[in-house]
Structure 1
Amino acid sequence: MQTLEIAAEALQVSVFDFFDCEQKEVLRNKLIWEAVTLLLEQSESRQQKALNILKEVFKP
């Protein structure tokens, strides 16, 4: 469940949105799925590090 929460936060959607048919357009983006797939292959601590990096890179 934590992995889904991390992915949802990175995509700025709720975990529920992953299963909402109306949100499928967000999930069709190939680049996003590649990033999510890569994150899923990592340990939770590495996922958190990646999320922290993304937050810094995309900070307004």
Structure 2
Amino acid sequence: MHWTLLKYRKELGLTQSELAKKIGISTNSYGKKENGLVPFKENEMAIILELFKSDSIITTLNDLFL
């Protein structure tokens, strides 16, 4: 499970469905990825990182996905 990703998503008040839509995947796919069952693609990680940075969350790819 990507605990830091989950924490920041909830801090921003986003549901899995809302974040999935922002990165262009289904809610089901996003849930599997957030739970660590399927890896995020590089472009998905980059979009998430930029979304978080635009909301003043200072983090790195390693913090979110490793």
TM-score interval, normalised by the smaller of the two chains: 0.3 to 0.5
TM-score, with structure 1 as normaliser = 0.42
Larger radius of gyration: 1
TM-score, with structure 2 as normaliser = 0.39
